[in-house]
A and B are shown apart, each in its own frame.
Chain A
Amino acid sequence: MEKNPKQWHEIAELINKDKQRALDDFHRLEFVPSARPRLLAPPAPGRWRIFRPAFAALAASLLLAVGLIAFWQLRGGWSKVPAAPAWDEILSGSFLYSGGERLAAEGAAEAPAAAASPLFTAWAEAGLARATIAAGAVDPLASVERGDPGEVRRRIGRVIHEGAFERWLVHWQEFHDKEA
């Protein structure tokens, strides 16, 4: 900038001319500074101060306290509050809840078995086998309702593991191709 002060002087002169012309126009009319009429001003934010977070939190706390006191006065104490139903009662009809409960019970039953001694396991299995023979074998063709659900699960698991469904599907695919 210092290299061309003369050139900037020229521009400053133009700016001054621009200002002077505009100021002449400006002075031609009276300029009365006035505040905006108060009535036209938007509603003061103070009106909504009640909705500020601190006030809202305080109001909520007061309402809770009043509610608790009223409840105490009406009931005469917490001991008379009827006990809430147990979770088991509420969720007894739920399939997921009962399934989860069963799985948890199975997990709890299986966990110590895994940690048991192999000799003890062999001895227990032999004892169980003898007891089963004595009680009579479970009919494998019996319906699920009357059969052993554990055995049904094991069988389904075995079928899935051996890929029986895939083989069955391949078989039907070949059959279909032959027919076509």
Chain B
Amino acid sequence: MQQATLILEETLMSHPVPIPAEADAGQDLLAFRDKVFCLCLGFAGNAADARDLAQDTYAKALAHYARVRPENPQAWIMRIARNTCLDLARRKQTRGGQQPVSELSAIDWRTPEAYAGREEEIGIVRRAIAGLPRRQRDVLVMREYGELSYGEIAKALRISVGTVMSRLNRARRAVLRHYQEEHHGKES
């Protein structure tokens, strides 16, 4: 009996099957997958982690969608994505110290950007975003990577639109300053 349960668990682990009751909800939420992925990319800093985080986000969202029935599914799933990303960052920090920014910003040299010579600049921007205070980073990533409007960000983070705007302004200034310093420093 125990053996049979173990086999069943292993099977479910290796081949997660969408649950029929949640399949419809999955289709509704699937419309936001690119935004969720990009948001995770903004927080994680690399595509592999962003994919895993998007998967985790959807797993959590589907597990609770039927019970919660959010009014604004996009803001809801974006908030889940943001919390999932912060959880992962916290776990990494607890396990083995903070991940170095250079590793976060690692870019595959096989990508077209690498050949176009922009990889270094993208790395600078990623490092600048990773170095922002958490609140500013939340807003900037949601705006620039998640492409959410001010109102959607305000709903997702449960803050006012004015606060979103001021944090976004500060975040952009900080990123710009960092970018200019690093960029010009390397040029000189």
Contacts known (A19-B38, A21-B112); A35 close to B9, Cβ less than 8 A: no
A35 and B34 within 8 A (CB): no
Provide the bound-state CA to CA distance between A12 and B168, in Å: 13
Residue of A nearest to B112 (CB): A21
| Of A4, A22, A33, A35, the contact of B41 (CB 8 Å cutoff) | A22
B126 and A31 within 8 A (CB): no
B38 and A33 within 8 A (CB): no
- Which chain A residues (70-91) contact chain B, with CB distance < 8 Å? none
A176 interface residue (CB < 8 Å to B): no
- Which chain A residues (33-54) contact chain B, with CB distance < 8 Å? 33-41
Type the 1/0 row for B88-116, where 1 means its CB is closer than 8 Å to any CB of A: 00000000000000000000000111000
A33 and B144 within 8 A (CB): no
Interface of A is mostly: helix
B118 and A14 within 8 A (CB): yes
A39 and B12 within 8 A (CB): yes
Please give the distance in Å from B23's CB to the nearest CB on chain A. 9
- Which chain A residues (97-128) contact chain B, with CB distance < 8 Å? none
B59 and A33 within 8 A (CB): yes
A11 and B179 within 8 A (CB): yes
Contacts known (A15-B125, A33-B62); A8 close to B47, Cβ less than 8 A: no
A23 interface residue (CB < 8 Å to B): yes
Provide the bound-state CA to CA distance between A41 and B64, in Å: 13
A179 interface residue (CB < 8 Å to B): no
- Which chain B residues (41-96) contact chain A, with CB distance < 8 Å? 41, 47, 50-51, 54-55, 58-59, 61-63
Provide the bound-state CA to CA distance between A47 and B169, in Å: 48
B122 and A36 within 8 A (CB): no
Please give the distance in Å from B143's CB to the nearest CB on chain A. 10
Interface of B is mostly: helix
Provide the bound-state CA to CA distance between A11 and B37, in Å: 20
The total of Cβ contacts below 8 Å across the A-B interface reads: 100
Please give the distance in Å from B150's CB to the nearest CB on chain A. 14
Q: Could you say which residues of chain A place their CB within 8 Å of the CB of B22? A: 35
Q: Could you say which residues of chain B place their CB within 8 Å of the CB of A33? A: 18, 26, 29-30, 33, 55, 58-59, 61-62
A145 interface residue (CB < 8 Å to B): no
Contacts known (A11-B125, A11-B175, A15-B145); A34 close to B59, Cβ less than 8 A: yes
Greatest chain B CB density within 10 A among A4, A17, A35, A37 is at A35
A7 interface residue (CB < 8 Å to B): yes
Please give the distance in Å from A24's CB to the nearest CB on chain B. 9
B8 interface residue (CB < 8 Å to A): yes
Closest 9 CB pairs of A and B: A33-B58, A37-B12, A35-B62, A22-B47, A34-B16, A34-B18, A33-B26, A18-B122, A36-B59
Residues of B within 8 A of A (CB): 8-9, 12-13, 16-19, 22, 26, 29-30, 33-34, 37-38, 41, 47, 50-51, 54-55, 58-59, 61-63, 111-113, 118, 121-122, 125-126, 144-145, 169, 172-173, 175-176, 179-180
Residues of A within 8 A of B (CB): 1, 4, 7-8, 11-12, 14-15, 17-19, 21-23, 25-26, 29, 31-41
